[in-house]
Amino acid sequence: MFRLIVLAALGLSLAGTAIAQTGSSDLTYCENLYATFDRYIAPRGESRSTSGVDAIAAVEQCRRGNTAAGIPVLEKKLRDGLFTLPRR
């Protein structure tokens, strides 16, 4: 019984580590998307438009841990601007 509890705890610990690493890489990807937007699209006047506000809101979502909401918004903005997405 003790072994089962130890194995279960170890499994949960490893799963948590994998999730944290995935979240970290998603945040890095999101930051890279926003950096590309900010460098190439925002100077065209997009930073003050609804598009720019949406991009800022999307990166803030990522920074708060909701990368699933932020990443698609930024990816779409870059695709719409005819940019190739950075590596994930």
Rounded-to-integer distance, Cα 59 and Cα 36, Å = 12
Residue type, 5: I
pLDDT in tens, 59-74: 999 999 999 999 999 9
Q: How far is Cα 80 from Cα 20, in angstroms, rounded to an integer?
A: 31
What is the rounded distance in angstroms from the CA atom of residue 87 to the CA atom of residue 33? 9
pLDDT per position as a tens digit, 20-52: 445 689 999 999 999 999 999 887 765 556 778
Q: Which of 72, 77, 76, 69 is nearest to 47 (CA)?
A: 77
pLDDT band (50, 70, 90) for residue 56: very high
pLDDT of residue 16: 42
How many Cβ atoms are within 10 Å of 68's Cβ, its own excluded? 10
